[in-house]
């Protein structure tokens, strides 16, 4: 979902507020979800395909995206 929104934001909408209005969700929710597009491929794979047991929930992952991919993976799957 977040990756689809990222494409929409890049091509069809100038600001996140327009995207939020178009899909009928709160701007804050969209902003948080868009952060998930910056998660490492390893974290995404383990969270979605392998159903790896993460010590952090998706909400918390939104706030860890500024860490390096290695740090993020280590924190998410200790």
Domain boundaries, the chain: 1-31, 39-78
pLDDT(9) > 60? no
Residue 37 in 3-state DSSP? helix
- Running DSSP on this structure, what letter comes out for residue 4? H
Q: pTM of whole model > 0.95? A: no
64: helix, strand or coil: coil
What are the structure tokens assigned to 36, written together?
Answer: 């998930």
**pLDDT digit string (tens) for 34-67?**
888 888 888 888 877 776 667 778 788 878 878 8
Determine what percent of the chain is predicted with pLDDT higher than 70: 82
| pLDDT given for residue 26 in this prediction | 93
């Amino acid at each position: 979902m977040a990756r689809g929104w990222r494409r929409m934001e890049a091509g069809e909408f100038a600001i996140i507020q327009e995207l939020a209005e178009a899909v009928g969700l709160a701007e804050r929710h969209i902003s948080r979800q868009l952060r998930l597009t910056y998660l490492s491929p390893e974290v995404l794979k383990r969270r979605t395909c392998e159903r790896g047991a993460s010590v952090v929930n998706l909400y918390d992952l939104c706030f860890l995206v500024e860490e390096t991919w290695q740090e993020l993976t280590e924190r998410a799957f200790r």
